[in-house]
Amino acid sequence: MLIPFTRSAAVTLSMALLAASSGVAFADDDSPRKTKLFDGRLRQDGLGIELGAIVQSGRTEFASNNLGLSPMSQGIILRDRNGMSSRMVVGLLIAVAGAMAASGPKSVSSKSYVSGDYIVTETTTTYYSEEEKRQMRENTSKAVGSVFASKYSDMELQLYSRDRFGMGDTSGYKLNFYIGSGDKIAFETGFGFGKVDSIVDNAGAPAKLTYKYLGMPFRISSVYKGAVRIGLTYEWNWLKYGVEDVDRQLHMPIDSQGNPGTMMEAQVASHPWHLDLSTVVFKRVTLMGGVTAQEIQKPRVGYYVQAGVMF
């Protein structure tokens, strides 16, 4: 099944062809690369900003497997490959977490006993010593330093719209930050979040599917014969554990005043897997195609394609 390109995809490809003749993109060592038609190594090691279009269809993470409802998603994608965006965000998260841990209690214990007609509970709180706090600050500083020294980083923002750009069923955003290392095989992980809602047809009536994401992405990738980067990504969605089975079924929402909603709704949540192939053409045009499965045991596959310009 062919997936139609959107208006934004056509504009992006036009920009790419113009940009292809304007200069070259360099790897993270700022050295010119030997000219290749398909350059997977530049996709992996290159340093630059990418702006492009994305189209998704089938059983992607935005679909409902149990209801058999699959939206068509169209939007734009912004990626900062091996730049500072992801390093700054992940570094800030580590710094804040380290500061909170150092200022918080080391341990809290309590015991209860009966005294006359009362039950008395005593709570003992132990805090870190100044030496322990100093060591924690030093460890946090080293961790932040290793983030900025990491070989790979990736900030990937996906924006979807039903009317402003694209003509799909989906509206919302999804954002992932990656930090990683490796030589022949790159290992990357980080932090991500997002919220997407889709309005799909359900037996002639509109139905709303709501996807929420907060968790950690894990990705391994490698370059095949210098031409294509192969990537496998797993997204550990913490919010999946808060979605009950009844929430996955279509139901009519009721607001705080008891008024019913305008359409049936259901929540979708999973730990999706993404397998993709990507490359850079003419040193500027980025291309990616892949499949998504919400689960490995009984995979029902969704498809996605991306095309963009690397600056």
Give the model confidence (pLDDT) of 288-305 as tens digits.
999 999 988 877 999 999
Tell me the whole-structure pTM to 2 decimals. Answer: 0.81
Partners of 213 in beta bridges: 194
- Whether 302 and 70 have beta carbons less than 8 Å apart is answered as yes
Q: Per residue in 203-215, pLDDT tens? A: 889 999 999 999 9
The answer to whether 25 and 280 have CB atoms below 8 angstroms apart is: yes
Q: How confident is the model at residue 24 (pLDDT cuts 50, 70, 90)?
A: very low
CA angle 48, 308, 279 (to 5 degrees): 75
Residues found in the chain: 311
Q: Is the pLDDT of residue 22 over 70?
A: no
Q: Sorting pLDDT into bands at 50, 70 and 90, what band is 33?
A: low
On the question of pLDDT at 162 being above 80, the answer is yes
Contact in structure between 281 and 12 (CB atoms under 8 Å): no
233 with 216: CB under 8 angstroms? no
Amino acid identity of 221?
A: S
**Which tokens sit at 202?**
């359900």
Q: Residues 251-257: what's their mean pLDDT?
A: 82
The answer to whether 158 touches 184, Cβ cutoff 8 Å, is no
- What's the mean pLDDT in 34-63? 92
- Residue 5 above 70 pLDDT? no
pLDDT band of 36, cuts 50, 70, 90: confident
Q: Once rounded to an integer, what is the mean pLDDT over residues 196-209?
A: 93
In terms of pLDDT, which residue wins out, 192 or 34? 192
Instruction: Supply 128's token pair.
Output: 């870190």
Sheet strands (E) in 183-272: 185-202, 205-224, 228-237, 264-268
Q: Is the dihedral of CA 63, 180, 308, 192 positive or negative?
A: positive
Looking at mean pLDDT, say which of 123-127, 154-158, 240-244 comes out highest: 154-158
- 115: CB partners within 8 A, 6+ apart: none
pLDDT at 164: 74
What's the average model confidence in pLDDT over 234-254?
92
Each residue's pLDDT tens digit, 139-159: 999 999 999 999 999 999 999
Arithmetic mean of pLDDT, 217-230: 97
Side chain identity at 155, as an amino acid letter?
Answer: M
User: Token digits for 140?
Assistant: 């946090």
Instruction: Collapse the DSSP code of 25 into the 3-class scheme (helix H, G, I; strand E, B; otherwise coil) and give the result.
Output: coil
Judged by phi (left if over 0) then psi (alpha if -120 to 50, else beta), residue 136 lies in alpha
The amino acid at 260? P
Q: Are the C-beta atoms of 278 and 287 separated by less than 8 Å?
A: yes
Residue 297: its pLDDT value, please? 81
Helix (H) or strand (E) holding 133: helix 130-148
Provide mean pLDDT across the span 6-27.
42
Q: How many CA atoms lie within 13 A of 64 on its CB side?
A: 26
Is the predicted pLDDT of residue 11 greater than 60, yes or no? no
Using CB atoms within 10 Å of the CB of residue 142, give its burial: 0 to 12 exposed, 13 to 18 middle, 19+ buried. Answer: exposed
**Distance between CA atoms of 155 and 41, rounded to whole angstroms?**
18
For residue 69, which amino acid is it? L
**Per-residue confidence at 4, pLDDT binned at 50, 70, 90?**
very low
Distance CA 220, CA 198 (A): 29
How far apart are alpha carbons 82 and 123 in whole angstroms?
48
* Mean pLDDT of the residues in the chain: 87
CA 291, CA 40: separation in Å to the nearest integer?
18
